Structure 1
Amino acid sequence: MRATGYLAASALASAVSAQNYLGFSTGSTKIDGSVKVQADYEAEFTAAQKLVGAPGIFNAARLYTNIQGGSATDPIEAFAAAIATNTSLLLGIWCSGTTTIEPELTALQAGLTKYGSKLADLVIGISIGSEDLYRNSVTGVENDAGIGANPDVLVGFIDDYKKAFASSALKDVPVGHVDTWNVFPNATNKPVIDAVDWIGLDEYPYYQTGQDNTIENAANLFSAALDAAKAAVGDKPVWITETGWPYTGMTWDKGVPSVANAKTYWDTVGCDMLFNKMPTFWYDLIDDNANNNESFAITDNLSTKARFNLTCPASSTVSSSSGAASATVTGSGSGNGSTKTTGAATTATTGTKTGGSGSTGSASGSGSAASASGTGAVTTNGASSVLNLSIGTLVGVVAFACML
């Protein structure tokens, strides 16, 4: 039995990492706050696949809920759009601030009943929760990041999903959890790592105030965070579920939004480290939240010609992610602004930040349509909030919570 179990686990791990998907994370609302419908998703998925100069076909999408906005348990209309455009789907289930994921499971089951194998064949993974552990971490609590979910709760939800779909067409779809890198080295969170097939990483060097978060150092900061996550989760595959650099918005310490910097980040992080090397879901294709002070979208109005040249440079500027950076947090940074929020969001970095709607500091919500607001501070000097990790010289807690 032990040998059989090992072979089965090895086969699943190979399947999880066998294809390096290219896609975008996409929220459930448009920039005006209205709920996306099938036509909106179809236009988005079609544009993604036809991007001029892209380093591959972006024919995958990460969703944050299975529930169509405005309903209780109706399946999200992105399902039908994915079928129409042959777009692979990384599904998501909201787990924070709730005692049950039954509405999500009901919506997903309704989708399978309605579309059958046409939908099931497009599902490449499912994330049970997104940044729930961060919100319940010491740093998240200090930052008033909102209600999260403890490891035992997440493990329970993972079991609920697996039991509900054990005999379904999704029974072999790999199950994961998405969170910020700094929660994974925490031993109390290991049961979640053990319960899933892959780990999703949300990472934004732009928000790393106090860590020389210039665009020139962004690849090094990303590399260090990726190495930390990989070291913590062992042989579990790591998927990049959110990353990007804004083209407009607030300046966060040394993080300056601009089209030129967004292009540099695309080249030095996306091209050099991610695209066609590991499953990657960029944030994002089109702006979909009017409350954001930062805009990350690589296109306007779903034009297939992006706001910067998507063609990757011929030569690489970052040779590897191992030992590429040294980041030390000893003081505090400050900034003003809001994070991206379609659904629920917070961004916690080092230092102290004050923002407005959807801001760093606090978040609240449940289901798939939560909101974030308020002010808060993140401290990095206390023993409870500082992780000492052997990745070059990486000291401190850097947390990024961007949940749509």
Structure 2
Amino acid sequence: MRFSTIATLAAAALPYASAYWKGFNVGANNEDGSCKSQQDWENAFNKLKSLPQYITSVRVYASSDCGTLANAVPAALNTGTQLLVGVWTEDSAHYDAEKNALAAAIQQYGHDWIVAISVGSEDLYRGDTDANTLANQIYDVRGMVRQWGVNQDVGHVDTWTAWVDDNNKAVIEASDFIGLDAYPYFQNSKISDASAVFWSAVDATRNQVNAVSPGKWVWVTETGWPVSGPNYGDAVPSVQNAQTYWRSIACAAFDSIHIFWYAFQDYNSSPSFGVFGSDGNAIYDIIQC
């Protein structure tokens, strides 16, 4: 973690009530499917900085895909933004390309732009790998970056259902931080129950982590409510419900837990979780809390 000295000491003493990262998930593609240029990344980062919440932390999903780090890192340095970096682990060639892209960015730009590194994303939930294999990849990436003096946390992002599965304890043990994706929408939740469902997922994950490897932080790496798309049980996508979810979750969570909102923009998806439309304007009011 890259806090100020005071914030770091406070965080070590009181892990759930100190200085918190607050950010957005930002994809590497533009609306037409093209890859973001450095300028595109800068535009996105500056948009987030202009919010009253002053968002200067962003989660990116990959390192090599679409030239993510090659373009996003100089944009981050130009805008005072820090990145929660993703490293895809699926298939050995892709994994090697991701590590090489991360290594190249660190060697060229140093590492002060890194919030943390996530090795894999929802691999356990999808059943794409096993816990021991993933744990070894976390150790592998951590070992690689430590040789260049990178001391930021290295962990994994997955669903709360994956984290509470006893078969996945090896990943908790390997991770410096636990990245939690929590979506009451996908749990068939009514919007009126969504806050309770969300915090229940956070608490269940924290309880499992504390039982397996006490003291490790649980970060919310994805959460949000769709503005459009199909109903999911009692969960109804709408602009109004997305705003309700923002006000009930984001407004409290920004001051109580590390959290990266999903998503800055979400083009051509159903359901669509995008907060900002193609015109660059917020789809719903994220100013008031």
What TM-score do you get using the length of structure 2 for normalisation? 0.88
Matched with 2:195 is 219
Is the contact made by 2:88 and 2:94 (CA closer than 8 Å) also made in structure 1? no
2:270 aligned residue (274, 287, 293): 293
For the residues of structure 2 that align with 1:199 and 1:121, how far apart are their CA atoms? 21
Identity of counterpart residues, as a percentage? 36
> Residues 23-58 of structure 1, C-alpha deviation per residue, up to 9 Å, x if partnerless?
11111112221111111111101001112xx4x211
C-alpha distance in structure 2 between counterparts of 1:181 and 1:296, whole Å: 19
Map of 2:4 onto structure 1: none
Offset at residue 13 of structure 1 (A): 7.4
Q: CA deviation at 1:125?
A: 0.5
User: Alpha-carbon deviation of 1:16?
Assistant: 11
Q: Quote the residue 1:83 is aligned against.
A: 77
Alignment-derived partner of residue 131 in structure 1: 122
2:108 matched residue in structure 1: 114
Determine the C-alpha separation between the residues in 2 that align with 1:78 and 1:36: 8
CA distance in 1 between partners of 2:118 and 2:245 (Å): 26
Deviation at 1:263, TM superposition (A): 0.8
Indicate the SS of the match to 2:24: strand
For each residue in 1:324-380, what CA deviation from the matched residue of structure 2 results, as whole angstroms up to 9, or x when unmatched?
A: xxxxxxxxxxxxxxxxxxxxxxxxxxxxxxxxxxxxxxxxxxxxxxxxxxxxxxxxx
Paired residues for 1:197-276 under 5 Å:
197-209=176-188, 213-234=189-210, 235-272=215-252, 274-276=253-255
Unaligned runs of 5+ in 2: 1-7
CA distance in 2, matches of 1:12, 1:63: 27
Q: Residues of 2 paired with 1:275 and 1:295: CA distance?
A: 22
Q: State which structure, 1 or 2, has the greater radius of gyration over its C-alpha atoms.
A: 1
Are 1:105 and 2:89 matched, yes or no?
no
Seen in structure 2, the aligned counterparts of structure 1 residues 94 and 169 have a Cα distance that, compared at 3 Å, is: same
1:223–1:75 Cα change, 3 Å: closer
Superimposed CA distance per residue, residues 100-146 of structure 1 (whole angstroms, 9 cap, x where no aligned partner): 73221211111122223xxx11211001111111111xxxxxxxxxx
RMSD (Å), alpha carbons: 2.3
User: In the alignment, what sits opposite 1:332?
Assistant: none
User: 1:268, CA displacement in angstroms?
Assistant: 1.0
> CA offset at residue 311 of structure 1?
3.4
Distance 1:75 1:241 in 2: 19
Letter in 1 for 2:265: I
Is there any run of 5+ residues in structure 1 with no aligned partner, and where? 1-9, 137-147, 314-404
Correspondent of 2:58 among 57, 61, 73: 61
The alpha-carbon distance between structure 1 residues 102 and 23, as it changes in their structure 2 partners (threshold 3 A), is same
Structural mapping, 1:180-191, within 5 Å: 180-191=159-170
CA distance in 2, matches of 1:115, 1:122: 8
Q: Which residue of 1 aligns with 2:38?
A: 38
Provide the rounded CA distance (Å) in 2 between the counterparts of 1:135 and 1:99. Answer: 20
The answer (yes or no) to whether the contact 1:285–1:302 under 8 Å persists in 2 is no
CA distance in 2, matches of 1:58, 1:114: 25
Match of 2:5 in 1: none
Question: Any conservation in 2 of the 1:66–1:75 contact (CA below 8 Å)?
Answer: yes
Alpha-carbon separation, structure 2, partners of 1:302 and 1:176? 35
- C-alpha spacing 1:36/1:42, structure 2 compared with 1 (3 Å): same
Q: Is the 8 A contact 2:220 2:257 kept in 1?
A: yes
